[in-house]
Amino acid sequence: QIKESATLTRDVLEQHFNDLKGTLRKLLDERLTSLLQEVDVIEQESIKPLDECQKLIEHGVSTADDLLREGESAVDGDVEQQNEKLCNFTKKALHIQLDSLPEVPSLVDVPCLSAQLDDCLLTILKNQIFRHGTVASRPPVQLEEFVEKPGGILVRWCKVDDDFAAQDYRLQYRKGTAAPFEDVYVGSEAEFMVLHIDAHVDYQFRVCARGDGRQEWSPWSVPQTGRTTLVPHEWTTGLEGYSLSSRRNIALRNDSQSCGVLYSKAPTYFCGQTLTFRQVLIETVGQPDRRDSLGVCVEQHSGCDSLQRDKAVCVSTNGAVFVNGKEMTNQLPAVTSGSTVTFDMEVVQLGPCSNEGGNFKLRVTISSNNREVVFDWVLDQCCGSLYFGCSFSYPGWKVLVF
């Protein structure tokens, strides 16, 4: 691991600084080109009026020189030719303004180009470059625990650098080792339930953190492999009153007049696990019915319209807790949009238990909205696994189970 991570770090550093060199060279070349173009523009705009002035002066000097030679020629020769030449000379001289010159700008008004280069840029760059990049012997955050869940994995991580103040965490995962990593969670919590995980398949996870008040992320933790052997919870198909998601872990009470209890496809809830119902969305039509409930049961009863019956424990939408059809005195908060209801059970055996029956007791903990009730559920038979179910009278209830 040390050699592999050191080689990878060298490659990352070399690639990063090569990219910086290329980018800096490109930026410097672009800046140089821009400045040279600016010099060209100033030169062309400033020299144009001076060139025109020079051309006028040269034209005037040339005209005067021609007139001077013509005058000298008029003086020479016989009298008759002189008179004619002098007459032509005089006429031409009257039409030429030899005493005027174009306006010539003063020397202080003529541009004098120069380059102003601040040497402190090198000092600033030097200080920034010497502070750019760090080499960490270990990431500040590491993966700590993988907890198998039906169709998911609860991933926990922890800080290993006490001096690092984490503001946010970023969890990524990928299926196998060939696929690219993808974000699955960004937030301040130190654990996350990753759902839609295929059973008996290896997934790789890694986590990093962002320091308080900083924009960049820390180095990634060492990738670790997690898997679940538990098949995902699924609602059973075919009940007319409910529509299911593609993964069959979300049930929506539709507007069908048909009613009844929607059960799980199989008894996939085992003691020692946590079963969670989450109200994804509630847009109910009509008042909640007192028989509306969420819970677990020993077996399916197709003829019942509620889980408030024998061999079942459940919570009604108004918070009442029922055990084998009897309402308990303890009550939980009402189930509303965004509510999460969890069931935890552990076995407490009263007497000999066999396949033929016997005294069997489960310690049940039901939690909702930071409150919980704990009680013992006595059954007349051993139950290694249980069904879960829900029943709603009006459309709009939408429940995710995991």
Task: Please enumerate in sequence order all residues whose Cβ is within 8 A of that of 349, keeping only pairs 6 or more positions apart, or say none.
Answer: 359, 360, 361
| pLDDT classification of 104: cutoffs 50, 70, 90 | low
Report residue 101's pLDDT band, with 50, 70 and 90 as the boundaries.
low
Rounded CA separation 303/150 (Å): 28
Comparing 13-17, 80-84, 161-165, the range with the smallest average pLDDT is 80-84
- For the residues of 170-215, what is the DSSP string, one character each? EEEEEETTTSPPEEEEEES-SEEEEESPPTT--EEEEEEEEETT--
Better-scored residue on pLDDT, 288 or 372: 372
pLDDT top residue among 384 and 128 = 128
Write out pLDDT tens, residues 305-338. Answer: 899 999 999 999 999 999 999 999 999 999 888 8
Confidence of residue 66 (pLDDT cuts 50, 70, 90): confident
For the chain, the average pLDDT equals 86
Give me the mean pLDDT over the 46-50 stretch.
Answer: 80
Q: Which range among 44-58, 118-132, 329-343 shows the weakest confidence by mean pLDDT?
A: 44-58
Instruction: Write down the pLDDT at residue 168.
Output: 93
Per-residue tokens: 315: 């919570």
Which two three-digit tokens encode residue 383? 């139950």
Which is higher by pLDDT, 5 or 227?
A: 227
Instruction: Tell me the sheet residues that pair with 378.
Output: 361
Statement: residue 147 has pLDDT above 80: yes
- Of 79-83, 195-199, 296-300, least confident by mean pLDDT is 79-83
Q: Please state which of the ranges 33-47, 107-121, 243-257 shows the lowest mean pLDDT.
A: 107-121
381 Cβ neighbours under 8 A, 6+ residues apart = 298, 357, 358, 360
Does an H or E element contain 8, and which? helix 2-75
Which amino acid would we find at residue 228? T
Given a cut of 90, whether residue 119 has pLDDT beyond it is no
pLDDT for the residue numbered 88: 75
Say whether 249 sits in a helix, a strand or coil.
Answer: coil
Eight-class DSSP state of 370: T
Instruction: Tell me the one-letter amino acid at 195.
Output: L
Domain boundaries in the chain? 1-131, 141-228, 242-401
Binned at pLDDT 50, 70 and 90, residue 352 comes out as: low
Say if strands 269-270 and 397-401 run parallel, antiparallel, or are unpaired: unpaired
- Rounded CA-CA distance 320/326 in Å is 10
- Answer yes or no: CATH 2.60.120.380 is held by domain 242-401: no
* pTM of structure: 0.59
CATH of domain 141-228: 2.60.40.10
Note whether 319 and 331 are within 8 A (CB): yes
pLDDT at 92: 73
Backbone angles phi, psi at 164, to 5 degrees: -90, 120
Q: Which segment of 102-116, 157-171, 217-231, 348-362 scores lowest on mean pLDDT?
A: 348-362
Tokens of 26: 């490109």
